């Protein structure tokens, strides 16, 4: 297994003071950590990032997998921000940092005395990142948000689900991870700029606005059609609409996720011919019912029957292999358990084993290969694991000073 991933030091020397929690903020700073930044989570000594307890409510229990997967490659230092000295210490860290990130409830960071106006005074080079549910100037700017609220109010739920049925939530956490990715891009732009100017930036991102970024093609389709009706729910169909066939077809053994997606691109008319050949229906190639995309759409019911006649005799994986190899886009509906157990992801380094004190497990890494290899996975930190290391290396505090701060309940374990 070794040799299929590599340490990545693109952001060597970049220091991040990370006050984020749950998912939208942590996924941003985790991306920076994958790329080699030194990311230090500042956590309250009692229980830390509340994400540690998602689906693991007992504080004595191991960290949740939710926390572990979203906080790989980071460090953790525990500081009590209810003590003035604790706040001062964070300011000292900020003086040494390039990036400060937070996604606390609206107004919280300012009440803690760590607002933008304060931190830019002590470090004009700081890149100060804030993620909130709604944007400054929005009628909802003081409202709370979580992933689902962002997906409701940002439009993704309105375009997800089957026609005629209520809206569904996309299974992907676009309000959270989707937001984190847009903020990470912006931080990296600001870091690049800072190399030239030495100056920091204030970056603000609303989860509602982020979500809209991921359905811009739905907005585009609506505009194309004259902006008279909202983009609809398309079931399993393509967002932009596509000529038949386009959708999911049932496969053996007809379980909950036994379907294969088949799609013949409008831009590649040969897909349709290839599909007919591979399913043994060459006889239909010249059939006038399928001569144009318009005719194919008119005869969608019949097309679906013909395809299902073939797919129902194959498993989804067979169907994906056979149709894909014939040069037609096809994808089995994989579920998370199948993907987790598919060793090809580990062989490629896309999944790696996290060696964690709570127990080893296999999880997704940053999926981009740099010169052939994804970055090395390092475990998420235990609460306060790096308190001593960070205050010693960033602020040159002696072990005696650190112990004193700990006995005064300013620092945690």
Catalytic residues: 176
Query: What is residue 373's DSSP assignment?
Result: B
Binder among 148, 355, 404, 409 for a copy of itself (CB under 8 A): 148
Minimum CB distance to a copy of itself, residue 35 (Å): 4
Write out the two tokens for 295: 């005719």
Query: What is residue 157's DSSP assignment?
Result: G
| Contact between 119 and a copy of itself per CB under 8 A | no
d(CA 99, CA 108): 18
| Contact between 103 and a copy of itself per CB under 8 A | no
Q: Which residues within the stretch 219-238 sit at the binding site for a copy of itself (CB under 8 A)?
A: 219-225, 227-231, 233-238
d(CA 222, CA 158): 13
In the bound state with a copy of itself, the residue whose beta carbon lies nearer, of 201 and 406, is: 201
Binder among 246, 303, 390, 411 for a copy of itself (CB under 8 A): 246
Cis peptide before 245 (omega within 30 of 0): yes
Structural element, H or E, at residue 67: helix 65-70
Burial of 126 (C-beta count, 10 Å sphere; 0-12/13-18/19+): buried
* Span near a copy of itself by CB under 8 A; candidates 133-141, 304-312, 382-390, 403-411: 133-141
Minimum CB distance to a copy of itself, residue 59 (Å): 12
Minimum CB distance to a copy of itself, residue 89 (Å): 26
* Span near a copy of itself by CB under 8 A; candidates 73-81, 190-198, 284-292, 385-393: 190-198
Strand ranges across the sheet with 246-250: 246-250, 259-263, 330-332
| Nearest Cα residue to 103 out of 36, 18, 15, 165 | 18
Sign of CA dihedral 47, 50, 51, 56: positive
Binder among 113, 115, 125, 331 for a copy of itself (CB under 8 A): 331
CA distances from 121 to 113, 124, 200 (A): 12, 6, 11
The 3-state secondary structure of 37-63, one letter per residue:
CEEEEEECCCCCCHHHHCCCCCCCCCC
Minimum CB distance to a copy of itself, residue 11 (Å): 6
- Count CA atoms closer than 13 A to 355's CA, side-chain side: 2
| Contact between 213 and a copy of itself per CB under 8 A | yes
| Contact between 115 and a copy of itself per CB under 8 A | no
Binder among 58, 60, 192, 400 for a copy of itself (CB under 8 A): 192
205: helix, coil or strand?
strand
Minimum CB distance to a copy of itself, residue 209 (Å): 4
Q: Which residues within the stretch 39-68 sit at the binding site for a copy of itself (CB under 8 A)?
A: 50, 53-57, 64-66, 68
Q: Which residues within the stretch 158-177 sit at the binding site for a copy of itself (CB under 8 A)?
A: 158-162, 165-174, 176-177
Q: Which residues within the stretch 339-398 sit at the binding site for a copy of itself (CB under 8 A)?
A: 339-340, 344-345, 347-348, 350, 361, 363-364, 366-372
Structural element, H or E, at residue 307: helix 300-311
Binder among 1, 9, 282, 398 for a copy of itself (CB under 8 A): 9
| Contact between 139 and a copy of itself per CB under 8 A | yes
Size of residue set near a copy of itself by CB under 8 A: 158
| Nearest Cα residue to 207 out of 291, 145, 279, 250 | 145
Binder among 23, 43, 80, 102 for a copy of itself (CB under 8 A): 23
In the bound state with a copy of itself, the residue whose beta carbon lies nearer, of 113 and 331, is: 331
Query: What is residue 174's DSSP assignment?
Result: I
Q: Which residues within the stretch 65-94 sit at the binding site for a copy of itself (CB under 8 A)?
A: 65-66, 68-70
């Amino acid at each position: 297994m070794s040799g299929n991933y590599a340490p990545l030091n693109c952001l060597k020397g970049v220091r991040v003071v990370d006050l984020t929690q749950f998912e939208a903020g942590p996924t941003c700073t985790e991306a920076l950590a994958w790329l080699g930044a030194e990311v230090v989570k500042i956590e309250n000594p009692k229980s830390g990032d509340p994400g540690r307890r998602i689906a693991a409510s007992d504080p004595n229990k191991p960290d949740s997998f939710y926390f572990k997967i979203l906080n790989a490659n980071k460090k953790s230092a525990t500081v009590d921000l209810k003590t003035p000295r604790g706040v001062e210490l964070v300011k000292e860290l900020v003086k040494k940092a390039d990036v400060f990130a937070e996604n606390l409830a609206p107004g919280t960071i300012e009440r803690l005395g760590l607002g933008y106006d304060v931190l830019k005074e002590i470090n004009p080079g700081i890149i100060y990142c804030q993620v909130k549910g709604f944007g400054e100037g929005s009628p909802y700017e003081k409202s709370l948000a979580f992933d689902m609220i962002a997906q409701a109010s940002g439009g993704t739920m309105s375009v997800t689900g089957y026609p005629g049925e209520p809206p569904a939530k996309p299974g992907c956490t676009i309000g959270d991870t989707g937001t984190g990715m847009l903020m990470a891009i912006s931080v990296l732009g600001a870091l690049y700029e800072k190399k030239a100017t030495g100056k920091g930036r204030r970056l603000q991102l609303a989860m509602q606005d982020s979500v809209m970024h991921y359905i811009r093609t739905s907005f585009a389709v609506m505009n194309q059609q004259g902006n008279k009706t909202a983009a609809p729910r398309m079931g399993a169909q393509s967002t932009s609409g596509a000529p038949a066939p386009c959708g999911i077809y049932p496969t053996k053994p007809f379980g909950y996720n036994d379907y294969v997606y088949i799609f013949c691109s409008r831009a590649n008319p040969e897909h349709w011919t290839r599909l007919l050949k591979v399913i043994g229906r060459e006889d239909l190639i010249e059939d006038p019912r399928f001569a144009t995309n318009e005719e194919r759409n008119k005869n969608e019911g019949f097309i679906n029957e013909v395809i299902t006649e073939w797919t129902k005799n194959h498993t989804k994986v067979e169907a994906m292999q056979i149709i894909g190899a014939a040069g037609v886009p096809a994808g089995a509906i994989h579920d998370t358990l199948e993907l987790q157990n598919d060793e090809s992801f580990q062989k490629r380094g896309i999944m790696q084993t996290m060696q964690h004190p709570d127990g080893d497990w296999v999880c997704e890494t940053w999926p981009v290969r740099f010169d052939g290899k994804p970055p090395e996975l390092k475990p998420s930190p235990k609460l306060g694991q790096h308190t001593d290391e960070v205050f010693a290396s960033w602020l040159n505090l002696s072990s005696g000073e650190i112990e004193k701060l700990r006995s005064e309940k300013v620092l945690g374990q």
